Amino acid sequence: MIALIDAGGANLGSVRIALERLGADVRIVRDADGLRDARAVILPGVGAAGTAMRLLRARGLDTALPELDAPLLGICLGMQLLFDASEEQGAQCLGLLPGVVRALAPSPGIRVPHMGWNRLDARNSDPLLAGLAPDAQAYFVHGYAAPVTDACIASATHGGPFAAVVRRGAICGTQFHPERSGTVGARILRNFLAFADARREAA
């Protein structure tokens, strides 16, 4: 069972459909109790960091997520919430990855928010990136971005570089929307499910 957290994002339904197309058994989760016995957990998000964190705290998910044994994948805002904090609404986030999410800076020829397709530049070989072509592109919609740190396994550039895919241990994230990124997005989700299965079998 894949636990898909309802954090108030409009992309919840499309993420569920994308997972079910891959044969996953998906359950919508709205509180910490729903995480029990999950094969993996996915935290999607669209909206503002402070608002999303208030919802997670109200539902006890802010303490439950850091205690997970199962792999966790954050998508878009969900990935940003994995970090220590966000400039957006001055949010204190989950603290699962070090760093502060900051606003993208507009400049000549660079529009914010960043909306559209962008190339993924792999920085490390990783199970989440298996099978992706060197010129793989994904679909982004965001005005804030996470820094390129040791957890960043693929970056993208919009004005400057930012983290596009992250992983540290079982904590994973994509700044882009895999559910809107065609075959590249489907491959990332399939790789995450395979990664979760491999960890479970090794346990």
Instruction: Report, as residue numbers or ranges, the catalytic residues.
Output: 76, 177, 179
- End-to-end Cα distance, the chain: 17
Question: What Rg do the C-alpha atoms of the chain give, in angstroms?
Answer: 15
**What whole-number distance in Å separates Cα of residue 189 and Cα of residue 183?**
10
Tell me the C-alpha to C-alpha distance, in Å, between residue 52 and each of 62, 72, 110, 182.
10, 17, 27, 26
Nearest to 143 by CA among 115, 116, 181: 115
**What whole-number distance in Å separates Cα of residue 152 and Cα of residue 172?**
10
Nearest to 199 by CA among 72, 70, 42: 70
